[in-house]
Homo-oligomer: A and B are copies of this chain.
Amino acid sequence: MKKARLEAFSDGVLAIIITIMVLEIKVPHGTHFSDLKELIPIFLSYALSFLYIGIYWNNHHHMISTVRKVTGNILWANLHLLFWLSLVPFATGWVGENHFSAAPLALYGVILLMAGIAYVILQSLIIKNEGKDCVLKKAIGKDVKGKISPFLYLAAIALSWVNTVCAGLIYLIAALIWLIPDRRIERILHEETATSNE
């Protein structure tokens, strides 16, 4: 019951975040395809952020599905995560409108870093609540992706003032590594579900 509303509210907020970013792509005044040229960086930053929010939704979905009891601190840790993600549209707009210049790119990384930290806090609280033998603990395993991500963000933040293309590419790579399917994780989640249904 409680979990259903936690999911519904998170789904609502994530759906709105992913969609209002499109409002940053302002309709150009001209009527030629060439008038869209200036929108390319805005479109690219939109696509990147869409990917990030999509990944967060996907991981959030998997993580919450393993929760059996929702406590007060899980609710607040979840809101804390949503707070940082809600700033993604702002950072995306600043990056896009300024053609991926240094400070906006660095801010983008700071917000991704804070959201990443908020995600780890939520994950730790759930594991603490559910016990060390819980499905989530097994599913994340050594959590390689989770541990690499913050270093990639930090690298990109530092690189923003050196080479913006490099920084942008690192954000892209940091997103793409999450797309590689973790067959092992899906198997563990699948097995556990099968066991609990027996």
Residues on A close to B: CB < 8 A?
A: 1-2, 5, 7-9, 11-20, 22-25, 27-28, 31-33, 35-36, 47, 50, 54, 57-58, 61, 65, 71-73, 75-76, 79, 82-83, 86-87, 89-90, 93-94, 97-98, 101-104, 106-107, 179, 181, 186
Which residues of chain B are within 8 angstroms of A18 by Cβ–Cβ distance?
13, 82, 86
State A27–B71 Cα separation when bound (angstroms).
36
> A20-B23, A47-B83 are contacts. A103–B32 as well, Cβ < 8 Å?
yes
Which residues of chain B are within 8 angstroms of A107 by Cβ–Cβ distance?
33, 36
From B50, B82, B86, B90, A27 is in contact (CB under 8 Å) with B90
From B35, B75, B86, B181, A19 is in contact (CB under 8 Å) with B86
Which residues of chain B are within 8 angstroms of A98 by Cβ–Cβ distance?
31
State A104–B170 Cα separation when bound (angstroms).
33
State A11–B2 Cα separation when bound (angstroms).
12
Cβ of A27 and Cβ of B27 under 8 Å apart?
no
State A106–B32 Cα separation when bound (angstroms).
10
Cβ of B2 and Cβ of A103 under 8 Å apart?
no
Cβ of B28 and Cβ of A27 under 8 Å apart?
no
Which residues of chain B are within 8 angstroms of A25 by Cβ–Cβ distance?
87, 90
